[in-house]
């Protein structure tokens, strides 16, 4: 079955540590996205990538970094520079063309807690 996987489901880290969240898709989608969700805040875009080896900052990119070396993979690193990293992180993918780009497929999410 095609889909998006994120690991781990729950992640705990100590303050000051970097941590990398995994996102893999086998839908053959060109575009991939990372969102952060806080209670009552909806989904806010951190980074997105339209094609391999290219990515763009979203609205809240500070303290995060990404890479897109393979079409299937779009890992997100939460660095120690992120002031308030505790949140629910969602990865998504979609085709690139208009009308289909609006239909994004989401992974199950990673809940990150900073201790």
Partner 1 sequence: GQSLEQPSEVTAVEGAIVQINCTYQTSGFYGLSWYQQHDGGAPTFLSYNALDGLEETGRFSSFLSRSDSYGYLLLQELQMKDSASYFCAVRDPTGAGSYQLTFGKGTKLSVIP
Min separation Cβ 111 and partner 1, Å = 8
- Alpha carbon separation from 86 to 1, 11, 83, 93 (Å, rounded): 31, 10, 9, 23
20 or 108: whose CB is closer to partner 1?
Answer: 108
Q: Which of residues 9-68 bind partner 1 (CB under 8 A)?
A: 31, 33, 35, 40-45, 48, 50, 56, 58-59
How far is it, in rounded angstroms, from Cα 25 to Cα 11?
Answer: 20
Q: Is 106 in the site for partner 1 (CB under 8 A)?
A: yes
Counting beta carbons within 10 angstroms of the beta carbon of residue 13, is it exposed (0 to 12), middle (13 to 18) or buried (19 or more)? Answer: middle
Q: Give the footprint of partner 1 on this chain (CB under 8 A).
A: 31, 33, 35, 40-45, 48, 50, 56, 58-59, 90, 92, 96, 98-99, 101-109
């Amino acid at each position: 079955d095609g889909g998006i996987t994120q690991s781990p489901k729950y992640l705990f880290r100590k303050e000051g540590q970097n941590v990398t969240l995994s996102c893999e898709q086998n839908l053959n989608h060109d575009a991939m996205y990372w969102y952060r969700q806080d209670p009552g805040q909806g989904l806010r875009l951190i980074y997105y990538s339209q094609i391999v080896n290219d990515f763009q900052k979203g609205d809240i990119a500070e303290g995060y970094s990404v890479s897109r070396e393979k079409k299937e993979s779009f890992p997100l690193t939460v660095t120690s520079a992120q002031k308030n990293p505790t949140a629910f992180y969602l990865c998504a993918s979609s085709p690139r063309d208009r009308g289909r780009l609006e239909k994004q497929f989401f992974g199950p999410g990673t809940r990150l807690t900073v201790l």
